Chains A and B, each alone.
Chain A
């Protein structure tokens, strides 16, 4: 396994169109995260999964955004009715959790190369 894979690398779309991105995590990783990053900013948390369960979704995420991880392996992020403000790099990351006293803690996150979205 060579790491976290994201497709496509670049996506240009017109305002109002729907787009879908795919992320294939490192195979033995149980956690999968989606982040959004704009120029000069750090990655902003969107949502994350533990296996197939979506554990948290950012309050900043509007209902136009939806993510799935149906079999606990790959994940998709869909944006409906795109707006120009959605233009950003969308990063996927995966990790495995280890338990200490029953509390899972992240091992380091491995990031994919991202999908750069441009909404015209």
Chain B
């Protein structure tokens, strides 16, 4: 079966750092994506990991450990506009999404 787990909700303060974890068990693995989705809008691409390690892109970084079936998204210097849902998705030829983590950033 396909199983992707991430926390349902997280809260953080403006300027802080937050880490959103994702664990997965899937039949097949081509890579792992993170998407951001604001309420009422389509998901937008944030990052893609295919090899183990950390990928950094500005304030956002994503880490992958294939042997552990684990990834995290790290958001630094949080801003109010980062309040959104963050979706972990595994590429098994099609993308299988987790339920998403709703992040609320408070002033």
Count chain B CB atoms within 10 A of each CB in A33, A41, A42, A105 and give the residue with the most. Answer: A42
Question: Interface readout for B58-96 with A: 1 if CB under 8 Å, 0 if not?
Answer: 000000000000000000000000000001010101111
A65 to chain B, nearest CB (A): 16
Residue B50, interface by CB 8 Å: yes
CA gap between A42 and B62 in the complex, in Å:
19
B45 within 8 A of A: yes
Out of B31, B44, B87, name the residue touching A106 (CB < 8 Å): B31
Residues of A with C-beta under 8 A to B33: 108-109
Q: Tell whether A105 pairs with B42 under 8 Å between CB atoms, given A33-B94, A42-B99.
A: no
B24 at the interface (CB under 8 A from A): no
* A40 and B99 contact, Cβ closer than 8 Å, known pairs A105-B30, A105-B91: yes
Total interface residues in chain B, CB < 8 Å: 23
Asked whether, in the complex, the Cβ of B43 is within 8 Å of the Cβ of A44, the reply is no
Residues of B within 8 A of A35 (CB): 97
Contact of B42 among A55, A106, A113 (CB under 8 A): A113
Known contacts: A108-B33, A108-B48, A109-B33. The answer to whether A45 contacts B95 by CB under 8 A is yes
Contact B94–A48 (Cβ < 8 Å): yes
Tell me the bound Cα distance from A19 to B33 in angstroms: 31
Binding site of B, secondary structure by majority: helix, strand, loop or mixed? Answer: strand
Cα separation A111 to B41 with both chains bound (whole Å): 10
Contact of B31 among A45, A55, A105 (CB under 8 A): A105
Nearest chain-B residue to A95 (Cβ)?
B95
Q: How far is the CA of A48 from the CA of B43 in the complex (A)?
A: 17
The answer to whether the Cβ of A25 comes within 8 Å of any Cβ in the partner chain is no
Which listed residue, B41, B42, B87, B94, touches A45 by the CB 8 Å rule? B94
Chain B neighbourhood of A40, CB < 8 A: 99-100, 102
Closest residue on chain A to residue B50 by CB atoms: A105
9 contacts between A and B (CB under 8 A): A33-B95, A41-B99, A42-B87, A106-B95, A108-B33, A110-B45, A111-B44, A113-B41, A114-B42
